[in-house]
């Protein structure tokens, strides 16, 4: 595998999975905040669906979106199949329940007095919500990073929705699959290690950034 191809594959992985993590977090964290602070009919069903969804195989999600985005599918007119956008959409759908489930757990563990204290000190409901998020920032960060890790390491969605097109949608995991299929096991292992190193680097970077903002873990 030539260096340029490797660089592009890394870039595609970071871009698609990073975007998926950002989008999923933007949807899942507010939803988790709502779920953790309110009691309503059907809440247990929402949580059960979320937990079940976490176990969905990537290839099933890939298949679902493939059927939606393929030329004959209801969203075929968008022309998204075999694009990085399709990969991001699929990965977002994959990690949404994971980020939401972890965020829900993180927010449930915040002392319930935090919100009430913020309110009595004059915070608005929205500000009190931010306080609860701030109190849970480290476990929430773990939720987001876990989502990213899941997205960047999956292969089923990337293969089915991206198509493993060289210099376009080929990422690290589809490159590993390709090298393995070619019998280049050594290259596959090296790519796998590279993926781990990149994920480790991002974890360290984000965590040190948060510590620099005065947080404690």
Partner 1 sequence: MGRLAYRLRDVGYAYPAPPSPFALEIGSLDVPEGKTLAVVGPNGAGKTTLLLLLAFLVRPLRGRIDLFGRDAWAADDGGAHARRDAVLLAHHPYLFKGTIADNVAFGLKVRKLPDAEARPRVAEALALVELDGWGGKPVSGLSAGQTQRVALARALALRPRALLLDEPTANLDAALGLRTEAVLGEAGRTWGTTVIFSTHDLAQASRLADDILYLSDGKRAERAAAAAFPFPGRFC
DSSP summary character for residue 110: S
Residue number with CB closer to partner 1 (132 or 145): 132
Cα separation, 128 vs 107, whole angstroms: 13
Residue number with CB closer to partner 1 (115 or 170): 115
Residue number with CB closer to partner 1 (119 or 190): 119
Positions that interact with partner 1 (CB under 8 A): 111, 113-114, 116-125, 127, 131, 134-135, 214-216
* 100, 28 contact by CB (below 8 A): yes
Minimum distance, C-beta of residue 37 to partner 1, in the bound complex (Å): 13
User: Does an H or E element contain 94, and which?
Assistant: helix 84-108
Cα separation, 195 vs 12, whole angstroms: 12
Residue number with CB closer to partner 1 (54 or 119): 119
Minimum distance, C-beta of residue 113 to partner 1, in the bound complex (Å): 4
Q: Is the Cα dihedral 65, 180, 203, 111 positive or negative? A: positive
Minimum distance, C-beta of residue 123 to partner 1, in the bound complex (Å): 5
Minimum distance, C-beta of residue 80 to partner 1, in the bound complex (Å): 42
């Amino acid at each position: 595998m030539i260096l340029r191809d490797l660089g592009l594959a890394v870039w595609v992985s970071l871009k698609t999975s990073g975007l998926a993590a950002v989008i999923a977090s933007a949807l899942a964290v507010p939803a988790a905040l709502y779920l953790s602070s309110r009691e309503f009919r059907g809440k247990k069903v929402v949580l059960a669906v979320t937990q079940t969804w976490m176990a969905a195989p990537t290839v099933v999600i890939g298949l679902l979106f493939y059927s939606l985005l393929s030329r004959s599918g209801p969203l075929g007119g968008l022309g998204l199949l075999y694009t990085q956008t399709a990969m991001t959409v699929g990965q977002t759908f994959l990690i949404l329940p994971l980020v939401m489930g972890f965020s829900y757990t993180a927010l449930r563990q915040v002392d319930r007095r935090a919100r009430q204290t913020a309110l009595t000190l004059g915070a608005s409901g929205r500000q009190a919500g931010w306080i609860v998020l701030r109190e849970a920032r480290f476990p929430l960060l773990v939720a987001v990073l876990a989502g990213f890790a899941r997205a960047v390491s999956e292969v089923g969605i990337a293969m089915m929705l991206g198509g493993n097109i060289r210099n376009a949608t080929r990422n690290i995991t589809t490159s590993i699959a390709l090298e393995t299929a070619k019998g280049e096991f050594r290259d596959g292992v090296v790519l796998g290690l590279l993926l781990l190193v990149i994920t480790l680097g991002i974890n360290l970077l984000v965590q040190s950034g948060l510590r620099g903002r005065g947080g404690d873990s």
